[in-house]
Amino acid sequence: MVMMWDLHDTSQPRQQLCGHSMVVTGLAVSPDSSQLCTGSRDNTLLLWDVVTGQTVERASVSRNVVTHLCWVPREPYILQTSEDKTLRLWDSRGLQVAHMFPAKQHIQTYCEVSMDGHKCISCSNGFGGEGCEATLWDLRQTRNRICEYRGHFQTVSSCVFLPRALALMPLIATSSHDCKVKIWNQDTGACLFTLSLDGSGPLTSLAVGDATSLLCASFNRGIHLLRVDHSRGLELQEVAAF
């Protein structure tokens, strides 16, 4: 079930969207906020009308256990990762697969699209350094793999593009079940900084807060507020936990 809430009235959900037969594992809102796409372990994607709460489209692909969804900025396309080790690009106009990227060797756990819509990243599960990488893809032209980011030792749970205001070079950040957040040079794949959140347990998600901060969720310690510091080069520091 998906519940929609009014931020200023949390007494009860504004809408309850029922349509999946198993746990909902992905959710993405269209750029104009008129539609919502959800994905589930039932191998199904549903497209909803936000105003009416009604299902607009339904699509199902065998063994496509959805792990994450991300809507491409200013486009009618939805990016989706799956336990079948693939990254799919869906056209919301009819909810059809527009492109399927080359399959990876491990389950794809998360995906994100750059603000200009030209590139996307996905990340892999794994253990002992096998798998455990993030991958940068060309989303607009060749749709080929551009770069890989290796250095985590357990499942990479999340990957995000960082704001260009943070550095002269384009950066991405990853979080992993190995309790580490890493910052990478997007173009070269070089790891620029590693922050170890000891005692946090597996890190489960990562999100950009503002121009200088990240939010990272963990199993044991809730949400960590991380700040990018340039006083001694590029560093990442934990400033609070909730």
Q: Which residue has the higher pLDDT, 240 or 211?
A: 240
DSSP 87-154: EEEEETTTTEEEEEPPP-SS-EEEEEE-TTSSEEEEEE-EETTEE-EEEEEESSSS--EEEEEE--SB
φ, ψ dihedrals at 160, nearest 5°: -140, 150
Residues 187-213 have a mean pLDDT of: 94
Tokens 């560093």 sit at which residue?
235
What does the pLDDT average to over 163-188? 92
Residue 30 has pLDDT above 90, yes or no: yes
φ, ψ for residue 165 (rounded to 5)? -70, -15
Q: Name the more confident of 230 and 130.
A: 130
pLDDT band (50, 70, 90) for residue 210: confident
Mean pLDDT check: name the lowest of 11-15, 53-57, 71-75, 218-222. Answer: 11-15
| Superfamily of domain 20-163+172-201 in the CATH hierarchy | YVTN repeat-like/Quinoprotein amine dehydrogenase (2.130.10.10)
Contact 120/112 with Cβ under 8 angstroms?
A: yes
What sign does the CA torsion over 62, 63, 65, 66 have? negative
- pTM, 2 dp: 0.92
pLDDT of 167: 74
Mean pLDDT across the stretch 48-66? 94
- The predicted pLDDT at position 165 comes to 76
pLDDT in tens, 115-127: 999 999 999 999 9
Region label for 53, one of left (φ > 0), alpha (ψ between -120 and 50) or beta (otherwise): left
Question: Is it the case that residue 211 has pLDDT exceeding 80?
Answer: yes
Q: Is residue 166 scored above 80 in pLDDT?
A: no
The structural domains of the chain, with segments of one domain joined by +, span: 20-163+172-201
In the predicted model, what is the mean pLDDT of residues 216-234?
90
Compute the average pLDDT of residues 159-185: 92
CA 241 to CA 105: how far, in whole Å?
34
Confidence (pLDDT) at 186: 96
Average pLDDT of span 198-214: 93
